[in-house]
A and B are shown apart, each in its own frame.
Chain A
Amino acid sequence: MKRRLWAIVRKEFIHIFRDWRTLLIIILMPVLMIVLYGYAITLDMRNIVFGVIDDARTPESRALLEAFSENGFFKPWPHALQRDEIEALFMRRDVHAVLVIPRDFSRLLTTDRRADVQLIIDASDSNVGTFVNNYAEQVLRKYNERNNRGLPLLFEISPRIFYNPDMNSTNFFVPGLVALILMLISALLTSIAITREKETGTMEQILVSPVHAREIVLGKVLPYIALGLMNASLILVSARVLFDVPVRGSLLLLGLMSLVYVFVALSFGLMISTVARTQLIAMFGTLMATILPTIMLSGFIFPIASMPAVLQYVANVLPATYFLIIIRAIMLKGVGLAELWSHALILTGIGTFLLLAATRRFRMRLE
């Protein structure tokens, strides 16, 4: 038993190391992604260029323009501008917004004590639109406060940020990357490795040998478990070294939960390999059933609570959703099983169910 299993494990490792291109990509990709994410990715806007149509041309309007320019976030577009040119400017992407100060601006300000300026925003990217609008309101608030010493500020809001005080996106991203890579290696590589043996006909050769189905599955799966866990550690170490991403909780618990998650992913891979006949199909199937939902629906980048109800239901049965909650909590909050037992239980439940179903189906297929 032990010797036969060992032989299959060794054979699988030879396969893995022979294909150095795949191996290199698997090892290099997550590290490069961390670097890219750590340095490049932020949704904070900078350098917003705005055009100005100042119909008032009064000291008050000039003071307002001054207030917009001095905050560093807005940069005035240095050319004069007509109303009918706005569309063309937006299409050339020269400006993000246009500020229009009406002719009677100063008069309204003195007689009515209220004057509106118009802000036309290129909102094709709603995110940019929101940022520009918020910053403009901030500028106006400051401008009003400066002009009116008596304007009361009724209360102050003082935020205290927990777990990730600088609201650093790398801290958010790295745990998700671990979940993604574990899924990629365990599900995708396993399903392809098994389908390849079917496609090239070597699976039948193994089947006529005295090896048990159990040993084939185990022998196929063990090397990928090792590869996955190794890669996960590499991600955690490089994130720690490069960007100080911490692991505040128990490493042992983290390893244990990762192992459970790896079993879930492997079961998916096994399941798909029993259905797919070619590597191409196995690949598309795995992408659709595991990788894509893991990236899009698990809360990896986009918050689940903001999705439509149907997608939230889907998210609630995804193993990655639970694993992400667990791994983020262990790494960033430093909490343990006391807070996480319910999520851990669900993940283990899904894992056991899938593993049983997959091995059963796999054995049926082999016999």
Chain B
Amino acid sequence: MQRIFYLVQKEFRQIFRDPAMIVALFAIPFIQLLLLGHAITTDVKNLDIAICDLDRTPMSRAFTEHFGETAYFNVTVVEDDYRALSGLLDAGRVKMAIVLPRHFQRDLVNGSRPGVQLLVDGIDGNSAGVAMGYLASIAERYQVELLRTDPVLGRSLRHSPVVSAASRFWYNPEMESKVYIVPGIVALILLIITVFLTSMGIVREKEIGTLEQLLVTPIRSWQLILGKIIPFSILGFVEMAVAIGFVHLIFGIGVAGSIWLLFFESAIFILTTLGVGIFISTISETQQQALFVGWFFMIFAILLSGFFIPIGNMPDAIQYLTYLNPLRYFMVILREIYLKGTPLHFILTETLAMAGFGLAVFSAAVYRYRRVLG
């Protein structure tokens, strides 16, 4: 018992001796949180657009004015020449251009449905799709407004039965992507810190030769493992607690559910990440290798976790693949507790899957580690 205590003490000394390490441990995750929390957004704002109004009538002007009013679009160019538009797209000055045809108003009034042309830079397909959705709803609103206010056009509307939807958005009434993204980042920080610390901490001892010194002491291999695991899990928990406080302070996103449940689930998750860290250390000779193997694991764990790409959108074969990803379960659990306050019995399946996975990875890693040591 005492031996383990000394090992833990040694590990903490090693970490806190190096000021750069403290920066790496505490400053970096929070810069990350700040950066990612604000940068990762699937909302589209301030999209530069050009408008080419070939009609120049009150109606065409009213139509274009609707785009200047929203936060989605910036009307940066008003162009008279239709042919200049593709040049603007080529140079990347605008991402979208709207062309109102000549006789827009005349055709609109006499019911021959003028066509409004939209030129779209489709390189960023997702943003373009979202922006076209916004544009369609702005156009729709203009149309409804015309039908309501215009005495001639509105006549038919008054006699038609119309159903409309009143939507209510639960858990995220302002519809901000950060509400969903930020709790996910907390999971990422926990993942990154524990995997890298464990794998690189063990490999460094191998690389500089102190591991062999430890091996000739009467310390048993399981004590050695515990001596590594305990400090790194403690650090993981501290990191997590600070992150939760930080998220509350900076982003105003609090934990809706039980914070104890959150920590309980995190403990199960840490079992997996420590296991992965130990496993990486057994297959790497140098810190650089540990870094790259860890990086490799994490990129795929993150991409296939539903962090910013919903798993439900992926093809079936890849969806099955995600069941092997422990981060996938933790992502769901964390967001459920954070946003909805979901109790344990509604996330039991995920918890059990994560626990089973964690136990398997952890025992395999420890087994391998002891064999490598022995």
- Which residues does A use to contact B, with CB under 8 Å? 19, 21-22, 25-26, 29, 32-33, 36, 39-47, 64, 88, 90-93, 109-110, 113-130, 133-134, 136-137, 140-141, 143-144, 147-148, 150-169, 171-172, 192, 196, 276-281, 283-284, 287-288, 292-293, 296-297, 301-303, 305-308, 311, 325, 328-329, 332-333, 335, 339
Contacts and interface: CB of A to CB of B under 8 A. Distances in A.
Q: Chain B interface: which size bin?
A: 35 or more
B259 interface: no
Contact of B161 (A92, A147, A169): A147
| Residue of B113, B139, B292 with most chain A CB atoms under a 10 A cut-off | B292
A311 B35 contact: yes
B180 A125 contact: yes
B171 A124 contact: yes
B126 interface: yes
Interface of B: 18, 20-21, 24, 28, 31-32, 35-36, 38-48, 74, 86, 89-92, 104, 107-108, 111, 113-130, 132-133, 135-137, 139-140, 143, 146-147, 153, 156-173, 175-177, 179-180, 200, 204, 283-284, 286-289, 291-293, 295-296, 299-300, 303-304, 308-310, 312-315, 318, 332, 335-336, 339-340, 342-343, 346
Nearest to A161: B122
Nearest to B158: A113
A196 B204 CA distance: 12
Given A116-B165, A164-B123, 4 more contacts: A129-B172, A130-B133, A136-B167, A281-B21
Contact of B125 (A157, A168, A284): A168
Contacts of A153: 113, 143
B93 to A, nearest CB: 10
Nearest to B135: A157
Nearest to B111: A152
A126 B44 CA distance: 12
Contacts of A88: 346
A116 B166 contact: yes
Contacts of B143: 153-155
Contact of B162 (A114, A196, A288, A339): A114
B163 A22 contact: no
Contacts of B140: 137, 141
Contacts of B166: 116-119
Given A25-B292, A127-B310, A171-B123, A43 B160 contact: no
Given A123-B170, A157-B136, A296-B35, A165 B147 contact: no
Contacts of A280: 21, 24, 200, 204, 287
Contacts of A287: 28
Contact of B116 (A116, A117, A129, A157): A157
Contacts of A117: 163-166
A45 B309 CA distance: 10
A51 B169 CA distance: 15
A110 to B, nearest CB: 7
B125 A26 contact: no
Contact of A124 (B123, B163, B172, B295): B172
Contacts of A118: 165-168
Contacts of A335: 90-91
Nearest to B109: A154
A88 B335 CA distance: 15
A260 to B, nearest CB: 18
6 contacts: A119-B165, A123-B172, A155-B114, A162-B120, A167-B122, A296-B35
Contacts of B115: 155-158
A39 B130 CA distance: 21
Contact of B31 (A29, A122, A140, A288): A288
A42 B313 contact: yes
A288 B318 CA distance: 31
Given A36-B300, A162-B122, A124 B32 contact: no
A308 B28 CA distance: 20
B310 A144 contact: no
A151 B32 CA distance: 52
Contacts of B304: 36, 40
Contact of B303 (A40, A141, A169, A307): A40
B118 A22 contact: no
Contacts of A284: 20, 24, 28
A307 B336 contact: no
A58 B308 CA distance: 41
Contacts of B340: 90-91, 124
Nearest to B156: A150
Nearest to A169: B125
B127 A303 contact: yes
A269 to B, nearest CB: 13
Contacts of A130: 130, 133, 175
Contacts of A148: 156, 160-162
Given A126-B176, A157-B136, A306-B45, A39 B165 contact: no
B346 A329 contact: no
B160 A150 contact: yes
A39 B318 contact: yes
A92 B165 contact: no
A168 B314 CA distance: 14
Contacts of B293: 21, 25
Contacts of B173: 123
A288 B152 CA distance: 62
Contact of A307 (B24, B41, B135, B161): B41
A328 B95 CA distance: 13
| Residue of B45, B146, B161, B332 with most chain A CB atoms under a 10 A cut-off | B161
B359 to A, nearest CB: 25
